[in-house]
Chains A and B, each alone.
Chain A
Amino acid sequence: MLILKVTAIEPIHGYGIVQRLQQISKEALQVRQGSLYPALYRLENKGWLKSEWKITEGGRDAKFYSLTKAGRAHLDQETRDWRKLCNAIELVLDFAG
């Protein structure tokens, strides 16, 4: 879901995604960067991302990923579900505490 969120803003390549995630979560998520790609490919297989080879600012070829319409719909749904879950947990915590 995080990947989808990152790509929602603008088309971005794999390294960019990792950088953005590190910015956002401030190094809280530590995984091997290489395992990003299987996740990206799976999302692409599902039709939520689409990819395109473009030239970066540095002049190199890189594959850029962007959200598809279906991906956006899925992201919205996932976000809503997540928020609902968070609210529910908060309620419980408020109630219990």
Chain B
Amino acid sequence: MRLHRKRETLGWEREMSAEMQFHFDSLVRDFMAEGLSREEAERRARQEFGSLELAKDEARDTRPLEWFYSVVKDLRLSIRGIRHSPAFSLTVIATLGLGIGATATVFSLANAWMLRSLPYSEPDRIYAIFENRPREVGSDRIPASVPDFQDWRAQNKSFEAMGSYESADFIYSSGDQSQRVRGAFVAHDLFQALGVRPQAGRYFEEDEFWLSQATVTIVSDGFWRRMLGADPNAIGKTIMISDRPRRIVGILPSGFEPPIRSWDVYIPRPNNGMEKFRGAHGINVIARIKPGVSFDRARQDMDVISKRLEQQYPENKGHYASVVPLAEALHGEFRTSTWALMGAASLVLLIACFNVANLMMARASARAREVATRLALGAARSRIARQFLTESFLLASLGAVLGIGIAFGGAALLRAILPPSTAVIPEDIRIDPAVLALAACLALITALICGALPALNASRAELNGVMREGSRGQSASAAQRWSRSAFVVAETALALVLTVGAGLLLRSFWNMQSVDPGFRVEKLLTMELMLPPSYSEGDKTLAFQNRLLESTRALPGVVRAGFTTYLPVTGQNVRRNMEIQGIVHQGSEPRRANARIASPGYFEAMGIPVLSGRTCLDRDTQKNPVAILNEAAVQRYWQGREPLGTKVQFSGMNDDWAEVVGVTADVKHFGLEAVPRPELFLCSYAPPTIMALVVRTQGEPETLMSAVRLKLREVDANVPPLELRSMEDIIERSGASRRFLTSLVAGFAGLALLLAAIGIYAQLAYSVTQRTPEIGIRMALGARQAQVIGMVLQHGLLLAGSGLAAGFVVALILAGWTQKLLFGVTPLDAATFATAPLVLLGVAGVACLIPAWRAARADPARTLRHD
């Protein structure tokens, strides 16, 4: 492959050659004229003129675009050099490709997160306001209650807009088609706080909130296009949302992404009776800070308000408003995972760099003769160093190209396995200019790191020493040998650190998998529904439930069925204040429990163990309410007394008291890793319109999905199922993010071990080659194969062992950082710290075997003759 040479260069070169040739010939002619023979004359001429090549080189340096031409020449030489040592080049390119590819892949993930992270105007001015109860464990980010929100809004001086949202599912009906749409109940200035302006129409007005039925709605751009066909006259039209007519007063712009997920329909928050309860917490508050007001000022402002409310209202005792930047509130967890992944990828890249640096140093010392020769011919050291650097840049660029290719695959993989998350959407994970720029930077940096040392060393080659070396021509100064070993030790250490990290995560994952959710997960089908508002009068909901239960239980393959309000593990919840008759409350905070309504058959269908008493029966109705507690509730609030027979009441139950008739085991409601909280089930007491059906099946749950859906249609065709899935699916989904993180880190650890093994192998192979004469002598003197193997292994294990020790210390230091990501293990887990080094030793051992074996098989006669 010849790079295109400019004609000008050819001409210039030719001219210069001709000119110098003329000079030289003239010298020869004149010397011959003085009487010297031709050979004598030429010798004298050479003496006088000096080296022709050197003169040409110096002359070339004077060319105006010299730097360009010499770079081109360097590139040509580099390409030739790369083609002449394919094994070396391919190894370097592959190693760099892996390192850069891994890092670029993780970066595309982080990039996607940053892209999605708050596409609002001036996102750093937006805050979420939670309620924080410092004295209650695990209660640092609780939704607000409506009265608190109203007070915050009225009394604050720091925020220019404050609004709230509650995620909700609605049913959009047009003609006789019903469809579920996602949306939110919005109060006050939510849109203003987020900084989004409708593309058509207006915001909600103050008098449109807190009505018994909201009559207006604002829709998303997507909804307007999909459901209304982008009707230009949509504003003012009326559509049916959840059985009520709503007039469209606004359409949001197309770039707007709501905080949680894509919402289509926004309804002003109606008055559903819970608004007067300061203890009922269910709304999420978002506020935009006034320009010029600092975060601290706003926090102090809210603290003052919190104290005031605490004094005025006893139920607010111990509650504080907590102001959190929105990005942190929504994506904080994801950020930790992303940092962990970036750390892991960086370690892999670093290990790759060490490997490549070693390879390059080995190659440089192999070329020491060539370098010495060029120096003798008068080449400048800087030129030689520059050419070596060019080579490493070229290799690094090719590695980066390979890395980008790998990153494409990596991004596709990430898209496929990404757990459902609010922080990132799969489509955003792609190789965009930012990722490409990163790859280019990495290539540059690795070229510098890996290429600089060999280049410097090479240019310092000692002429005499090199020329006198054995035929192998491989010399290695002590400094070089030392740094090569140091690199191998370093990369082994890093590999251990990564392995420890992966081990900790794997244990956490294992722990999560082994958690007992509190019920039997297999063969359980779930269906979440929402009834339209027409059901909220009288006993219609109860009747609906009974009919559906009856027809579902009749299906073949159904063992049991029951209803509840919210499914376990999903984390959906309603918490209410609770009163217990006859027990005086001791603590400073009011008693609270998660409130659910269960139908008869629920606990049996779920397989939740009953610890005492009974569960719901058909005869339990609203008229004589009964309640079932969970163990956490009993231990928390019953002060050692017998719970059966006591009477409890929730806020909102008017004057009804429910008698406790049973206690069940705890269920992991908030995800497998959370601690169970007090729960109270009321049996068939005014079930709300949101509910979930659970069906214990004989065979696989999926086989009954269509049958159950059909039964639902038969009972009421206007009720679409919100979700229809097996419990196993739900559990798997809840563990998805941990599985994601763990598998990626484990993959990186594996990669790191592989690269470290390659590094150890390369180093040993190299040192064996160096020591082949010595080995030959030893064997000739009677050393046995086993001894030779032992010698090599010893060297290898020394390297690995040092790396292990160093890595162990580093891992101990860094372990604390992983705290947030772990579950059920401490960062300094003994088992992990004991196993990881063993794994590494095993890998290193295997890497040592091949060179050792080869060394032992060397024929002493041959190796001795080689020199």
Residues of A within 8 A of B (CB): 13-15, 18, 32-35, 37-38, 41-42, 45, 53, 60-63
A35 touches B27 (CB 8 A): no
A11 smallest CB distance to B (angstroms):
14
| Cα separation A45 to B12 with both chains bound (whole Å) | 13
The listed residue (A14, A15, A32) touching B50 by CB distance below 8 A is A32
- Write the nearest CB–CB distance from A94 to chain B, whole angstroms: 40
23 interchain pairs, CB-CB under 8 A: A13-B19, A13-B22, A14-B19, A14-B22, A15-B22, A15-B23, A15-B27, A32-B55, A33-B23, A33-B48, A34-B52, A35-B50, A35-B55, A37-B16, A37-B20, A37-B59, A38-B55, A38-B62, A41-B59, A61-B18, A61-B22, A62-B22, A63-B22
Query: In the complex, are the beta carbons of A37 and B49 less than 8 A apart?
Result: no
Task: Name B22's closest neighbour in chain A (CB-CB).
Answer: A62
Give 6 closest A-B pairs by Cβ, nearest first. Answer: A34-B55, A32-B50, A34-B50, A41-B62, A15-B26, A38-B58
**Option from B22, B25, B51 in Cβ contact (under 8 Å) with A34:** B51
Q: Is B702 an interface residue (CB 8 A)?
A: no
Contact partner of A32 (CB less than 8 A), chosen from B16, B18, B49, B59, is: B49
Cα-based distance from A32 to B55 in the complex (angstroms): 9
B54 contacts the other chain (CB 8 A): yes
In chain B, what residue has the closest Cβ to A38?
B58
Alpha-carbon gap, A45 to B27, bound state (A): 26
Q: Is B732 an interface residue (CB 8 A)?
A: no
A37 CB contacts on chain B under 8 angstroms: 16, 19-20, 55, 58-59
Contacts of A61 in B (CB 8 A): 18, 22
Measured CA separation A63–B317 after assembly (Å): 100
Provide the bound-state CA to CA distance between A45 and B23, in Å.
Answer: 21
Instruction: Check B64 for interface membership: any CB of A closer than 8 A.
Output: yes
A45 near B64 (CB under 8 angstroms)?
yes
Q: Smallest CB–CB gap between B511 and chain A, Å?
A: 74
- CB closest residue in chain B, given A44: B62
Interface size on B, residues (CB 8 A): 23
- Measured CB to CB, the closest approach of chain A to B522, in angstroms, equals 85
B462 close to A (CB within 8 Å): no
Whether A63 contacts B61 by the Cβ 8 Å rule is: no
Q: How many Å lie between the Cα of A23 and that of B357 in the bound state? A: 57
Which residue of chain B is the closest to A39 with respect to CB atoms? B62
Asked if B15 is at the interface (CB within 8 A of a chain A CB), the reply is: yes
B57 nearest CB neighbor, chain A only: A38
Closest to B64 in A: A45
Nearest CB on A from B32, distance (A): 13
Seen from chain B, the residues whose Cβ lies within 8 Å of a Cβ on chain A are: 15-16, 18-20, 22-23, 25-27, 48-52, 54-55, 58-59, 61-64
Closest chain B residue to A41, Cβ basis = B62
B54's partner among A15, A34, A60, A63 (CB-CB below 8 A) is: A34
A53 partner residues in chain B, CB cutoff 8 A: 15
Chain A residues contacting B59 (CB-CB under 8 Å) are 37-38, 41
Q: Report the Cα distance A13→B18, complex, angstroms.
A: 12
| Complex Cα gap A41–B26 (Å) | 20
Question: What B residues does A60 contact at CB under 8 A?
Answer: 22, 25
Is B49 a contact partner of A34 (Cβ separation < 8 A)?
Answer: yes
Cα distance, A61 to B18, chains bound together (Å): 8
**Nearest-Cβ distance from residue A31 to partner chain B, whole angstroms:** 8
Instruction: State whether B22 touches A45 (Cβ < 8 A).
Output: no
* B49 x A33 contact (CB < 8 A): yes
Instruction: Report Cα–Cα, A63/B19, bound state, in Å.
Output: 6
Question: Complex formed: what's the CA distance from A34 to B18 in Å?
Answer: 13
CA distance A37 to B50 in the complex (A): 12
Q: Please name all residues of chain A whose beta carbon is closer than 8 Å to the beta carbon of B55 when the two chains form the complex.
A: 32, 34-35, 37-38
Most buried by B among A15, A45, A61, A62: A15
Q: Which residues of A contact B27 (CB under 8 A)?
A: 15, 33
Please give, as numbers and ranges, the residues of chain A lying within 8 Å of B62 by CB-CB distance: 38, 41-42, 45
Specify the chain A residue showing the minimal Cβ separation from B58.
A38
Whole-angstrom CA separation of A15 from B54 in the bound complex: 17
Within the assembled complex, what's the spacing in Å between the Cα atoms of A62 and B20? 9
Are B48 and A62 touching (Cβ within 8 A)? no
Bound-state Cα–Cα, A14 to B59, Å? 13
Please measure, in the bound complex, the distance between the C-alpha atom of A60 and the C-alpha atom of B58, giving whole angstroms.
25
In Å, the complex CA distance between A34 and B58 comes to 9
What residues of chain A lie closer than 8 Å to B61, measured between beta carbons?
Answer: 38
Q: Nearest Cβ in chain B — how far from A48, in angstroms?
A: 13
Q: What residues of chain B lie closer than 8 Å to A38, measured between beta carbons? A: 55, 58-59, 61-62
A38 to B55 Cα, complex, angstroms: 8
Query: Smallest distance from the beta carbon of A15 to chain B beta carbons, Å?
Result: 4
A18 to B773, CA, bound (A): 55
Q: Of A35, A42, A45, A62, which one neighbours B19 at CB under 8 angstroms? A: A62
* Residue in chain B with minimal CB distance to A14: B23
Chain A residues with Cβ below 8 Å from B63 are 41
**When the two chains form their complex, are residues A33 and B50 in contact, meaning their CB atoms are under 8 A apart?**
yes
Q: Roughly how many angstroms separate A15 CA and B55 CA in the complex, as a whole number? A: 14
Q: Which residues of B have CB within 8 Å of A14? A: 19-20, 22-23
Chain B residues lying within 8 Å of A62, measured Cβ to Cβ, are 19, 22
Query: CA separation between A60 and B61, bound complex, in Å?
Result: 27
Task: Give Cα A37 to B26, complex, Å.
Answer: 15
Separation of A47 and B48 alpha carbons in the complex (Å): 28
Residues of B within 8 A of A35 (CB): 50, 55, 58
List chain A residues, Cβ under 8 A from B48.
32-33
B16: which A residues are within 8 A, CB to CB? 37
User: In the complex, what residues of A have CB within 8 A of residue B26's CB?
Assistant: 15
Interface centre among A32, A34, A42 (most CB of B within 10 A): A34
